[in-house]
Amino acid sequence: MGRPEEDEPRRAPLDRDRALVEEAQADPARFDALYRKYVAQVYSYAYYELHDHHDAEDATERTFMSALTGLVHFEERARPGDGADASTFKVWLFQIARNAVAERRRGLRRRPEAPLEAAGAMVAPLDVEGEAMRREETATALRAVARLTGDRRRAVVLRFVDEMSTSEIAGILGRSDGAVRVLIHRALRSLARELDDNRP
Amino acid sequence: MTWLPAGRDSHDIDALVTDRYLETLLTAHARGADTGPTTTEADPILRMIMVRLARDLPRFHPSFRFEEALADRLADAAVRMRNASHDATPEESAPVGPTLTILPDGSVRLARSADLRAPIGRPLLIGGALTSAALSLAGAYLAWRLKRPSSSPMARAVRAVARTRLA
C-alpha cells in the first residue's frame, strides 16, 4: 500500500497563477486578482510599444477585456523545462497584449516618438543635479531602446523591464528559447554601439 | 573551463553566455543589489550595457484613475458574463463584450463590439494634469474611492499615498 500522497494524482506546480486562474474560470468576478497582478506590467509593455499614455491605456483595456472573455478557453501548457516559476497565464496574457498593441498601432497614424517626455515626467527628488544626470541617462537609454527593431525591442523590454525569463519571452514572441537569446544578444550589441556613439 | 554545448555556433554560445550573465544580474537586481555580478565570461561592454539597462529602464505605471475605472468595467463585464451563463441556453447565449477568436498559435484576436466602447470616456488625465472641467468629477471620484474598502494591498498603499498628499 502506497503512502497517501502517492495515491493522489499530482499536478506539476508549473503555473504560479493556477489557483487564481481556476478561481476566475469558475467565477469571472474573481478575475480582479489576476488583473491587479498584471495590469502594471501590461500597461508598461504597451507604453514602451506605443509611446502614448492614451494608446497604452486602450491596449491595456483591450488586453484584459479579451483575457476575461477568453479565460474559459485558456489551457495551461507549461513544460517541465519552464521551471517552477513559470506562468503560462502570463505568457497567454502577453500574447493578447502583443496583438492588442499591434491592432492599436495599425489604427494609428505615424507620430513622433516621445520617450524623452516620459523620462521628463518623473518626480525629481532633492538631489537636483544627480537627478538631472540620471534623467538624461534614462532618456538616452529609452531613446536607444525605442530605435531597436520589432522583436529585438520587445525582447529587451520584456527581459529588462518586465523581468521575464527567456522561455516566457519565447512563448510570447512565438520563437524558440535560443532565438530569443540571440535576439537579446544582438539587441545589446546594437545598444552598445548606439550608446557609445551618444557618449560626450 | 567554460561549458560549451555541442552543435552550437559562436553566436549561440555568445548569446548563451550573455543570457546566463543577464539571469544573474536580474536576480541580483531583484534583491536590491546596485552593482552587476563579477564574471570574466561575458563581454565587458555588454555587461556594462546590461547593468545600465537594468538600472535605467523604468517601468511605467497606469494612472490610479485608469486602473480603478478599468477594474470596475471588468467587474461589470464579469457580472454580465455570469448572468448570461445563468440565463441563456448555450444556443441562445450572445457574446458579451468583445468577440474573441482563438488563433492556431494559441494567441487571441479581439474584435471590439460597439457596446464595449460606450461606457468608456477619454481619460481625464492629460499629460499628467487634470483638465478644469474634470476637476470636480475627479475630486468626487477620489473622495468616493478613498472611502471604499478594498482587500488589495496595492490599493491600500495607493490610498495611503493619496491621504499623505491631501494632508
Is B116 in contact with B98 (CB distance < 8 Å)? yes
pLDDT 10s digit of each residue in chain B, 167 long?
A: 444 455 567 777 888 888 888 888 888 777 776 666 666 677 788 888 888 888 888 888 999 999 999 999 999 999 888 877 766 554 444 444 444 444 445 444 444 433 333 333 322 222 333 333 344 444 444 444 444 555 556 656 656 665 665 55
Cβ burial of A35 (10 Å; 0-12, 13-18, 19+) is buried
Is A178 in contact with B15 (CB distance < 8 Å)? yes
**A100 interfacial to chain B (CB closer than 8 Å):** yes
Tell me phi and psi for residue A170, to 5 degrees.
-60, -40
**B130 interfacial to chain A (CB closer than 8 Å):** no
For the stretch A11-41, pLDDT in tens is: 555 678 888 999 999 888 899 999 999 999 9
**Which residue did the predictor score with more confidence, A86 or A146?**
A146
Is A151 in contact with A179 (CB distance < 8 Å)? no
Question: Please, which pLDDT band fits residue A98 given cuts at 50, 70 and 90?
Answer: very high
ipTM over 0.85: no
Residues B153 and A45: their CA atoms lie apart, in Å, by 23
Q: Which residue of A has its CA nearest to B123?
A: A54
Residues A193 and A26: their CA atoms lie apart, in Å, by 51
Which pLDDT score is estimated for B118?
32
Q: Is residue B139 classed as helix, strand or coil in its secondary structure?
A: helix
The answer to whether B122 contacts A54, with C-beta atoms less than 8 Å apart, is yes
Which pLDDT score is estimated for A46?
94
Which pLDDT score is estimated for B121?
30
Residue B108: strand pairing partners: B102
Q: Does the pTM exceed 0.90?
A: no
Q: Which three cell numbers stand for residue B53?
A: 539597462
Residues A173 and A165: their CA atoms lie apart, in Å, by 12
Which segment of A37-46, A142-151, B131-140 scores lowest on mean pLDDT? B131-140
Residues B54 and A160: their CA atoms lie apart, in Å, by 6
Q: Which three cell numbers stand for residue B69?
A: 475605472
Is A118 in contact with A152 (CB distance < 8 Å)? no
Interface A:B, Cβ pairs < 8 A: 173
**A43 interfacial to chain B (CB closer than 8 Å):** yes
Question: Please, which pLDDT band fits residue A141 given cuts at 50, 70 and 90?
Answer: confident
Cα end-to-end span (Å), chain A? 74
Nearest CA-CA distance, residue A99 and chain B, Å: 7
Nearest to B107 among A60, A96, A156 (CB): A96
